[in-house]
Amino acid sequence: MEDIHDYYSDLVDSHLHAPWLDLSQDSRRESSLLAFSSAKSRNQPTMMEITRETMSYSTTQPGGRAPLGGRQAGNVVSQDRMLKIVTEMRSGAGSGLSPFGQNAASTIRDSREREKKEMSDLNDRLASYIEKVRFLEAQNRKLAADLDALRSKWGKDTHNIRNMYEGELSDAQKLIDETNRQRKDMEVQIKKMQDELAELRRKYEDAVRGRESDRAKIDDLLVHLSNLEAEINLLKRRIAQLEDEVKRIKQENQRLLSELQRARTDLDQETLNRIDYQNQVQTLLEEIDFLRRVHDNEIKELQTLASRDTTPENREFFKNELSSAIRDIREEYDQITNVHRTDMESWYRLKVQEIQTQSARQSMEHGYAKEEVKRLRTQLSDLRGKLADLESRNSLLEKQIQELNYQLEDDQRSYESALNDRDAQIRKMREECQALMVELQMLLDTKQTLDAEIAIYRKMLEGEENRAGLKQLVEQVVKTHAISQETDTETMRVVKGETASRQSFQRSAKGNVSIHEASPDGKFIVLQNTHRAKDESIGEWKLKRRIDGKREIVYTLPKDFVLRAGKSVKIFARNQGVSSPPEQLVYDGEDTFGSGNSVQTILFNKEGEERATHIQRQSNA
């Protein structure tokens, strides 16, 4: 069975790899006989023969396929050749087989039936392969015939057209090469400008960083100055408090001095009083002595009188009475004197003790006051020295701050000058770049037009067999939209033969407010504040729009209108939008701002100076 499979595989491969062989004469391969013998039984053996006939070629038409019962034939035709595959199977069986022979015969019969079915499937597959080969050969012949027909027609009608357009194609190729060369030069210039712009941006960033560093230093100095000023103010307040304390101490000292003076005065007065009292005591003592003498004299006189009495009893009586009276008087005066002496001594002792205590206290307070005044004077001198140092440092820092402010102003002026120069260079480079981009865009548009024409000519050449294709209308739309910061260019080209339309927009601004957009149909105008942090007051500014140099429309912005930083305002014509300040405004004077081939939109400030322009042009090429 494997030999049969290999045989059919070789047959299919040889037929598929050689589809163009000339098979006009008949050929036949001798059939090979494969005999399979089974084990013989004791009575009669069983034998099955398979006869295979292959590759029968002829020029006849396809025949039918033989039934698969005993002889199987498959006929496959490819126009002038036919492949005939015949498989013949014969089987025979004797009678009187043993059980083992019957089993072997049934096994062989089943195997032959299975092989028969597989051979049928292989014949069907081979037939489908050969049919596919026949179909592909027929299709190849048809395509070869069509190709020969096309080759026979080409070169007659298109030769003149090809000669006519070869020159134009060469010119277009030269123009494309020149455009590419100019584009490379422009790219080199743009790269150089970008490098210069990067260098300027780096310098600007360095300047900004330096400015920020200076600002940080100034902030630190200001913080330090504020701290010093706060310390100075604190010291001034402390000095004021100390001066107030000194004044209070001086007042207290003055009060103590006055009290001391008053105490001294009181002491003097008390001393005078003491002397007076002593004088009074002396006077009283003298008076007592005088009274004693007087009394003694009286006693003596009485004694004399008594001595005149002769009676001893009377003398004794009067003597006793007189002694008793004198004793009573003396005791009374002694008692009075003792009381006065005790009172005076206690009063004087008390006064002296008070004066001594007050004097000691005043002396201590005076010493304390002197020490406090001395300490305060020392502290005041130290604070005055510190204040002088701080004032000198403050003046030095103020001078440094003033110098830094001057330097900062100079740096700001230099930075602003550098920024203005950089902005001017950037604007100039952008204008040059924009001009180059416009020129490059025109060249690209020309290239696209030529590419479109080349494609049209190619289609015309490819559709040469269909004459109606030359009369078809070829339409191609090329739209290019280039936007930059300064110039907007929009090109619409509709190619019908050689018809094109071009619209260009150009804008400029002197300041932060620019005309960002102007509708070609005159429905709205958009103003934009390009600054990121500064608001612009554009109240009572005028917006003039000139159409083809004839008609002029003027719109005045509302009073006190402010355009916020980074924002825009859209101004609609009448019935073209809804008023929603500050984002949207409506001009009630006209239904449209006008449209035409040449439209100029100009923004004027209050003084009539031109601040921004927007120019729109439309042309046919």
Segment 179-188 shows an average pLDDT of 84
pLDDT bucket at 570, cuts 50 / 70 / 90: very high
Between the alpha carbon of residue 513 and those of residues 99, 532, 537, 547, 553, the distances in Å are: 114, 12, 10, 22, 20
44 vs 351, more confident: 351
Segment 351-364 shows an average pLDDT of 79
Name which of 16, 10, 26, 155 is nearest 81 in CA terms.
Answer: 26
Q: How far apart, in whole angstroms, are the C-alpha atoms of residue 384 and residue 389?
A: 9
Q: What percent of the chain is predicted at pLDDT more than 70?
A: 72
Q: How far apart, in whole angstroms, are the C-alpha atoms of residue 29 and residue 54?
A: 7
Q: In this predicted structure, which of 197-211, 264-278, 496-510, 541-555 has the lowest mean pLDDT?
A: 496-510
Q: How far apart, in whole angstroms, are the C-alpha atoms of residue 245 and residue 141?
A: 130
Q: What is the predicted pLDDT for the residue at 274? A: 77
Q: How far apart, in whole angstroms, are the C-alpha atoms of residue 131 and residue 129?
A: 5
Residue with tokens 């100076």: 609
Q: How far apart, in whole angstroms, are the C-alpha atoms of residue 11 and residue 611?
A: 91
138 vs 384, more confident: 138
User: Tokens standing for 259?
Assistant: 């009290």
432 vs 42, more confident: 432
Q: How far apart, in whole angstroms, are the C-alpha atoms of residue 489 and residue 566?
A: 23
406 vs 20, more confident: 406
Q: How far apart, in whole angstroms, are the C-alpha atoms of residue 584 and residue 527?
A: 10
**For residue 435, how many other CB atoms are within 10 A of its CB?**
12
pLDDT surpassing 70 at residue 169: yes
Give all strands (DSSP E) within 471-567, no chain letters: 475-483, 487-496, 501-509, 513-518, 524-529, 536-537, 542-547, 551-556, 562-563
**CA-only gyration radius of the chain, Å:** 71
pLDDT bucket at 82, cuts 50 / 70 / 90: very low
Q: What is the predicted pLDDT for the residue at 261? A: 82
Ranges of each domain in the chain: 2-153, 175-423, 500-620
Segment 488-497 shows an average pLDDT of 35
Contact call for residues 303 and 319 (beta carbons, < 8 A):
yes
Q: How far apart, in whole angstroms, are the C-alpha atoms of residue 422 and residue 149?
A: 70
pLDDT surpassing 90 at residue 525: yes
Per residue in 456-492, is it b (16+ CB within 10 Å) or e — as a string? Answer: ebeebeeebeeeeeeeeeeeeebeeeeeeeebbbebe
User: Tokens standing for 349?
Assistant: 């002792």
Strand pairing report for 32-37 and 562-563 = unpaired
Name which of 383, 390, 385, 388 is nearest 237 in CA terms.
Answer: 383
Residue 580 is given by DSSP the state B
pLDDT bucket at 150, cuts 50 / 70 / 90: confident
292 vs 99, more confident: 292
Strand pairing report for 524-529 and 542-547 = unpaired
pLDDT bucket at 571, cuts 50 / 70 / 90: very high
Q: Whats the size of the chain, residue-wise?
A: 621
**CA atoms lying within 13 Å on the CB side of residue 554:** 7
**For residue 183, how many other CB atoms are within 10 A of its CB?**
16
Mean pLDDT of all residues belonging to the chain: 72
Q: In this predicted structure, which of 73-82, 124-133, 518-527, 558-567 has the lowest mean pLDDT?
A: 73-82
Strand pairing report for 610-620 and 501-509 = antiparallel
Domain 500-620 has CATH 3.30.1330.10: no
Segment 252-267 shows an average pLDDT of 80
pLDDT surpassing 50 at residue 29: no
User: What are the pLDDT digits (tens) for 361-413?
Assistant: 777 877 777 788 788 888 888 888 888 888 888 888 888 888 888 877 887 78
| Backbone region of residue 203 per phi and psi (left: phi > 0; alpha: psi in -120 to 50; beta: other values) | alpha
pLDDT surpassing 50 at residue 69: no
User: Tokens standing for 425?
Assistant: 């260079």
| pTM, entire model | 0.26
pLDDT surpassing 80 at residue 89: no
pLDDT surpassing 60 at residue 569: yes
pLDDT bucket at 601, cuts 50 / 70 / 90: very high
Contact call for residues 595 and 499 (beta carbons, < 8 A):
no
Maximum mean pLDDT: which of 305-314, 315-324, 417-426: 417-426
Q: What percent of the chain is predicted at pLDDT more than 90?
A: 5
Q: What is the predicted pLDDT for the residue at 515? A: 92
* Phi, psi angle pair for 447, to nearest 5°: -60, -45
Residue 467 is given by DSSP the state G
User: Tokens standing for 312?
Assistant: 């001893």
**CA atoms lying within 13 Å on the CB side of residue 582:** 20
Contact call for residues 82 and 70 (beta carbons, < 8 A):
no
pLDDT bucket at 603, cuts 50 / 70 / 90: very high
Segment 202-210 shows an average pLDDT of 82
Per residue in 11-23, is it b (16+ CB within 10 Å) or e — as a string? Answer: bbeebeeeeeeeb
Here the contacts of 232-240 (C-beta below 8 Å, separation 24 or greater) are 232/387, 232/390, 232/391, 232/394, 235/383, 235/386, 235/387, 235/390, 236/387, 238/383, 239/380, 239/383, 239/384, 239/387
User: Tokens standing for 418?
Assistant: 């550098």
Name which of 506, 551, 511 is nearest 529 in CA terms.
Answer: 511
Reduced to 3 states (helix: H, G, I; strand: E, B; else coil), residue 472 is coil
pLDDT surpassing 80 at residue 546: yes
Segment 182-200 shows an average pLDDT of 83
> 231 CB contacts (<8 Å, ≥6 apart)?
390
Residue with tokens 């203005």: 420
Compute the CA torsion angle 301, 302, 308, 312 (nearest 10 deg). Answer: -140
Question: Are domains 175-423 and 500-620 of this chain identical in fold?
Answer: no
User: Tokens standing for 336?
Assistant: 């009075």
Q: How far apart, in whole angstroms, are the C-alpha atoms of residue 333 and residue 330?
A: 5
Q: What is the predicted pLDDT for the residue at 204? A: 79
Segment 441-458 shows an average pLDDT of 76
Maximum mean pLDDT: which of 161-170, 308-317, 323-332, 582-591: 582-591
Domain 175-423 class, CATH top level? mainly alpha
Bridge partners, 537 (sequence order): 562
Q: What is the predicted pLDDT for the residue at 476? A: 37
Q: In this predicted structure, which of 39-43, 109-113, 397-401, 454-458 has the lowest mean pLDDT?
A: 39-43
User: Tokens standing for 216?
Assistant: 């940080």
**For residue 374, how many other CB atoms are within 10 A of its CB?**
10
Q: What is the predicted pLDDT for the residue at 116? A: 83
Q: What is the predicted pLDDT for the residue at 52? A: 41
